[in-house]
Every structure is written in C-alpha cells, then in structure tokens.
Structure 1
C-alpha cells in the first residue's frame, strides 16, 4: 500500500468497526432478544435460538479478533508522524493480509488428535463477511420469532382483556358463567406462543373460537345486566304491548265476524289469540327464581314474540277486510266487462250471457266463494274478448 492508501484504509476500517459495534449493541438491546434471553424455550424455537446464540458467539469472537488487529494498526500509525517503510509494511500486512487469527476451538477428547490444531487466518474483508453471515442468522431468527409473536400475542392479550371485563361484569351482576375451559385453553395457548412460537403457535381457528366464545359470553352478561337494571320499565312496556295485541286481536275477530258473512272462509282463517299465552309467560317470568342470565333471554324472546303477535293480528285484520275489497273489485270488473260487451254488440251472445249470469250469481251470493267468482269473471272476459284477454 502507498502511504495515502494505508491512511485511507485505516480510517475506513475504523469507521467500519464503529458501525459494526453499533449494530451489535442494537442487536443485544433488541426487545425480542432480551425476551428470549430470559425465556424457557422448547421445540423448534429452542433449536433455532441455540443456533442463533452459537452464531452470536462466533460473531463476537470474530469481532474481538478484528478489533485487536485494527488496534495494533492504530498503534503503529500513532507511533510516528510520518510512516516509514517498515511501519508501512506492517500496516499493509495488518490491513490487507491474513492478519485476523482465529484460535482453534477446543474439542471434546474423543474428537482430538495428538497433532496440534491449526489456527485459522483471515483477511479483514473475510472476517467482516463471516461476521455479516452470523449477524444475518441471528437477526433472521429474531425476525421469525417476532413475526410469530406479533401474529398471536395481541389476540391473546385481547382475550385476557375480555376475560377481565367478563369477571367485572359477573361481579356486578352477582352471577357467573363457567369459563374454566376457556381459561385453561388460553393458558395452554399462551404457553405455546411464548415457549415455542415457531413450532407451537396458536392456530387462527383456535383464536377465532375463543374470541367468539368470549364475545358471546360478554354480550350475554351485558344483556343480563341491562335487563336487571331495566326490568321494571321493560315489564311496563310489555304490559302496554300486550294491551295492543289484545286490541289488534279483537279487531281481527271483529273483521272475521263481518267478513265471514260475506265471503266464504276456510276454518283456518279464524283468528287465533296469543295474548293470554304471552301474558302467562310474563307472569311466569315475574315469579321466576331463575338467574338474570336466563331471564334476560326469556324477556328478550317474549318481547320479540309480542311484537310478532301484534303484527300478525294487524295483518290478519287487513287481510280479512281485503277479501271484501277483492269481491268488490271483481264486481267492478264484471260490470265493466258487461259494458264492453254492449259496445261490441255481444251482450246477447248466449255463451257470454251464461258466463255473466254465473259470475253475477257467485259475486252477489253470501258468503261469496272468491276463488270460483274470480274464475267466473275471467271466463266471462274471455267470452267477450273472443277467447283472449
């Protein structure tokens, strides 16, 4: 090397040493590295971590040998203001030659021989390349473990938070759910995630199942607590809703009484009352010694059934009155078709007259058979239109 080349190489190696030192310090202060140092690992993760630790030990050994050579080079340069030929030759040998000595590792006695083990000599560039390979092996292990933890630990933390919230709700409600199996499963999954994230991570399906179960349990408790707080008001609302059901069912019975005299109805068209059955369920709920968890579902179901009964009674009344409207509409169609027959000069047609009379008798009979009457009106229209519509 020239004097300028040696000066440049020495400065470059010093910068390289400082950068490598910073990277090594960052590695050992990495959160995942610190967690792994104190963890009881097993399985695939333990195997990867043992290999990573070996790579890290090799890395530090290489770094110490590299730094020792560089320290010798810096001492030579600091000894004189201007490098002489001898100093330049020494610097060149250190910076460009195979100056990094790796002592032969001690072997178990069964692997030794009586011949001395040769030390390995590397250039500084070769040493940096080996350090980089070891560094990458360690960081790859940390990256894989960190990714596995990030995939499951937040979800496990969420599940634990749900459990704490459920516990608080149970205390407030004064009732509890049996979540022993869930707690056991969570403990097992967290153990696998911490001790062997690469080999025994919780599956997404297991985490989904627990999340659904905890979410459902929390919802049940919140609903039960809400029912406990609001039972008096919701009971009053139910009593009022039952009164509306009775009124709507009374209207449906009135409609049936009026319509059955005019329109032929099947037996199943008679309105059925649900109000008393619903009222009986409310009384049973009042007298129940059941838990609020069960009472909340019963109350919610009763509220839904009451709303459905009201809609059904109202729809029944509308449908019954609609049958009379349907009869009146058919009467209007019959009259309109007869007027058309007169305009077309077909009012006296024998087939048309017979069809008209049949439809008229059906529509003005009580009770009216709507199905037969509608068919008769259609038959009359076809007769007037010459077989078409």
Structure 2
C-alpha cells in the first residue's frame, strides 16, 4: 500500500468508525429500545429479543476489536511524519489484512473441549459486514415490536377512553351497561401486547370489543339525549299519532267511496295501526326500563308512526287510483268503438257482442277491473284483426 493509499484508507476507515458509532448510539437511544431494556417479555418476543441482545453484545465486542485495529493503525501512522516501508507494510496488514481478532466465545461446560479454541481473524471489511448483519437483526426485531406497539396500543388507549366515557354516562344515567367482562378483556389484551407483541395477535378480539364499546357508547349518548328530550319527543310522537289517525281516516273514506264502485278483495279492507302504536306509547310512558332500552323503543316507535302514516296515505291514493283505472278503461272502450265504426265493423255481431260484454262490466257497480280489462282487450283485438 502506498503512502497516499494508506492515508486515504485510514481516513475512510475513521469516517466509517464514526458513522457506525453514531448508528449504535442512535439504536440504544431509541425509545422502544429503552423500554425493552427493562421490559418483562415472554413468548416469541422474549425469544426474538434475547437473540437480538446476544447479537448486539457480539456487535459491540466486534466493534471494540475493530476500533482497536484502527487505533493501532493511527498510532503507526502518527509515529513518523513520513511512514517508511516498515510502517506502510504494517498499515497494509492492519487496513487490508485479517487484523480484527474475534475471541473464541466462552461456552457452557457441557459444550467445551479440552482442545484450545482458536480465535477468528477478520479483515476490517468482514468485520463491518458481520456487524451490519447483527445490526440488521437487532433493528429488525426492534421495528417489528415497535410496529405492533405503535398500531395496537393506541387502539387499546382508545377503547379504554370509550370505556371511561361510558362509565361517566352510566353514572349520569344512574344505570349500568354491564361491561365488566370487556374491561377485563382490555386488561388482558394490554398485558399480552406489552409482554409479547410478537405473539398471537389480539386485534381480532380488540376489533370485537371496540365495536361493542362504540355501540354501547352511542346507545348511552342517545339515552342521555332521549332522557333530556323525552317530554318534547313524546309530544311530537303524540302529534305523529294524530297524523296517523287522520291518514287512516282518509283511507277508510277512500275505501268506502271506492268499494261501491270497484270490486275489492277482503284483504283490501283498511287495518288501523294507530291503536297498537298508542298502546306502545302508553307502555313506554309507564316503563321502568333503563334509558338505553327506552331510547331504542322511542326511536323505533317514531319510525313506526312515520311509516304507518305514509302507508295509510299511499293506500288511500292507490284506492282512488282504481277509479281512475276504471275511467281509463271506459275511455279505451269508446276509442275502440270509434275505430270499429271507421272500419265498418260497427254492425259486426261478434265485435258487437264483445263490446256489450266490456261495456256491461265497466258500467256495473261494483266493477270487476280485472275482467273488465280483459274484455276491453278482447274487443280491441277483434277490431284489429287479432293483432296487438
């Protein structure tokens, strides 16, 4: 190695040493690393982190040997202003040769031999490669543990916050949602994640508990609202039932007006829901159920009242629509009669018979709309030669 080559190699190795030193210090100052130093781990995480710690101890030992070689190289270079052949040979041996001594590891007595254990010699490049392998093992374990903690622990914190909020709402309501089992589950999951983040995932259980807590929280919040607004909403519901009565009354009037003119099946007789809804409202007023349950019943009763009014109005509209359908068929029959006259079929006996049959059905009360529609279609086809 030339003098210039030795100078360059020594500077590069010094920069490399400083970079490795910085990376190792950053590793050991990492928050998760500091937590793991004093953590009581178990399971897969204990196995993985124990292996990583062994690799880290070996890394530091190798790093000390690596630095010793560089210190010796710097001493040789600093001994003379202009290194001679002997110094350059020594620098070449240190910087390019197998100069890093890796001491044979002490083994348990059951694994020892009475034969001497040879130390291992590595070049600086080989030492750096081996240190990097150990570094990657440690950071890999650190990142895997940190990823689980970073993902699951905030979710556990959120679930705990929901549980506390539900407890506050329960105290305000003077009721209990009975979430002791979920509280115990959260404690169990947190203990498992803290002690063994790389073990079996708790996320399926956490998903289930989080959904239940979110639902319980929403119900408790709704119960507070319902309790505070019950008088107003009860008054609004009574008004909604009045609207149901009015709509059902209109339906009965429509049925009465239509049934004398249009043949209706028995199931078309309007059925009232307002009495059942009123009974449910009275039961809700007298209920001693928890407010969470009463909130659900009140919301359901409000929806039922709205749908009952809508259904009654729709039924009345449909009933009156049957009269419109009869009038439409009468108009079609008249149009077909005019067409028959233009075609010279006004005196045709067969067409005339079909016309009279349709006319009799449409002008008979109550009118059978199904038979009348068929009769009008038969007459139309007759005057069109059987085509549509």
TM-score when normalising by structure 1: 0.94
CA distance in 1, matches of 2:296, 2:109: 75
Tell me, yes or no, if the aligned pair for 1:152 and 1:201 is still in contact at 8 Å.
Answer: no
- Residues 96 and 360 (structure 1), Cα distance of their counterparts in 2 relative to 1, 3 Å cut: closer
Tell me, yes or no, if the aligned pair for 1:192 and 1:201 is still in contact at 8 Å.
Answer: no
CA distance in 2, matches of 1:2, 1:376: 117
1:188-236 per-position Cα deviation (integer Å, ceiling 9, x unaligned): 2222222222222224x33332232122112211221121121111111
Structure 2: gaps of 5 or more residues: none
Q: How does 1:69-148 map to 2 (within 5 A)?
A: 69-148=69-148
The alignment status of 1:177 with 2:177, answered yes or no, reads yes
CA distance in 1, matches of 2:17, 2:262: 103
1:300-356 per-position Cα deviation (integer Å, ceiling 9, x unaligned): 111111011101111111111111111111111111111111111111111111111
The residue number in structure 1 matching 2:16 is 16
CA distance in 2, matches of 1:260, 1:143: 79
SS at match of 1:78: helix
The alignment status of 1:248 with 2:260, answered yes or no, reads no
Tell me, yes or no, if the aligned pair for 1:193 and 1:200 is still in contact at 8 Å.
Answer: no
CA distance in 1, matches of 2:241, 2:110: 92
Tell me, yes or no, if the aligned pair for 1:104 and 1:118 is still in contact at 8 Å.
Answer: yes
- Residues 377 and 115 (structure 1), Cα distance of their counterparts in 2 relative to 1, 3 Å cut: closer
CA distance in 2, matches of 1:23, 1:285: 69
Q: How does 1:28-39 map to 2 (within 5 A)?
A: 28-39=28-39
SS at match of 1:137: helix
The residue number in structure 1 matching 2:346 is 347
- Residues 317 and 115 (structure 1), Cα distance of their counterparts in 2 relative to 1, 3 Å cut: closer
- Residues 9 and 327 (structure 1), Cα distance of their counterparts in 2 relative to 1, 3 Å cut: same
1:108-166 per-position Cα deviation (integer Å, ceiling 9, x unaligned): 33333444433333222222222112112211222222333344333333322322332
The residue number in structure 1 matching 2:331 is 332
SS at match of 1:285: helix
The residue number in structure 2 matching 1:61 is 61
CA distance in 1, matches of 2:174, 2:128: 66
The residue number in structure 1 matching 2:220 is 221
Structure 1: gaps of 5 or more residues: none
The alignment status of 1:359 with 2:339, answered yes or no, reads no
CA distance in 2, matches of 1:226, 1:89: 88
Aligned residues: 388
TM-score when normalising by structure 2: 0.94
